Structure 1
């Protein structure tokens, strides 16, 4: 991970692109985990 970030640090345009891509991926992961938590809570509750 560190070598990949060092490779893109030479070009600022690619660095901002990967920064936005990373933020988008983290946001999508957060939404996915929230969705899983909602499904698990609904599954855990009795009818």
Structure 2
């Protein structure tokens, strides 16, 4: 690879490394929302009489 593409690659890596916590937080929030929705479905199923 030439120097120009190495420099561009390094800049992209720095931007990605600076943003990984935000991506991780978004993923964790999405997982939490799915978990809470699942819990709500299970609670509703147990609440209903058979």
TM-score, normalised to structure 2's length? 0.66
Structure 1 gaps of 5+ residues are 1-10
Residues of 2 paired with 1:13 and 1:30: CA distance? 25
Higher relative contact order (CA 8 A, sep 6+): 1
Compare CA radii of gyration and give the structure with the larger one. Answer: 2
Q: What CA deviation, in whole Å up to 9, does each residue of 1:2-43 have, x standing for no partner?
A: xxxxxxxxx643331010000000000000000000000000
Structure 2 gaps of 5+ residues are 1-13
The aligned length equals: 37
Name the Cα RMSD after superposition.
Answer: 1.3
Q: Secondary structure at the match of 1:31?
A: helix
TM-score, normalised to structure 1's length? 0.70
Large movers: runs of 4+ above 2 Å: 11-15
